[in-house]
Structures are given as C-alpha cells and as structure tokens.
Amino acid sequence: MAIRDFQRMIHERYYATDSARGAAKTFLWFSEEVGELAHALGKLEKGTPDRANLEEEFADVLAWLTTLANIAGVDLEQAIHAKYIADGGPEGTK
C-alpha cells in the first residue's frame, strides 16, 4: 500500500470524527500512542519483547500521525518526497 492510499483510507474512515475533535486533542491521542510505542520498545530493549504488541503500536503511531496530517491538510507522500527524496534528500544524519 502506498502512503497516499493509506492516508486516503484513514481519511475516509476517521476524518469526520477526527476533524471534529481537532488537532490539539488529536495530538494528545497521538502522544499517548507514542508512549505506548515507547513502552513496547522498552520491552524489546530489556529482552522481553512482545512482537505483536510492538507491531500494533507502530501501526497505531503511523495511523494517528496520518490523522494529524489529514486534519492539517498535509499530503504525507508529497511531504516525504520533498524532504527525503527530491534533490537527493537532506545531507547529514537524521
């Protein structure tokens, strides 16, 4: 699935609810998911990973980030291309 297709799917399924909630409250949901991902990564670092949960948290973070992009009117595929692909991408380390 292309990034644009994923963003479109998230928009079709959730935009009405997400836009009504607004960017600030949606960012709080996103932050909670990042925290859950941090917890799952902590388990990985400790040598006690829950692979299914880790994958689920990565998916949740991506979905909520995409939701924020939809609310803000940002085309993620275009933004990624402009930042990381066009003209060879940024120099240095990320």
17-71: pLDDT as tens digits: 999 999 999 999 999 999 999 999 999 999 999 999 999 999 999 999 999 999 9
- Rounded Cα–Cα distance for residues 25 and 15 (Å): 14
pTM attached to this predicted model: 0.91
Provide the terminal-to-terminal Cα distance of the chain, rounded to the nearest Å. Answer: 25
46-61: pLDDT as tens digits: 999 999 999 999 999 9
Distances in Å between the alpha carbon of 36 and those of 1, 21, 22, 29, 66? Answer: 25, 21, 22, 11, 17
Fold category of 3-8+24-85 in CATH: Helix Hairpins (1.10.287)
Domain range list for the chain? 3-8+24-85
**What's the rounded mean pLDDT across residues 4-27?**
98
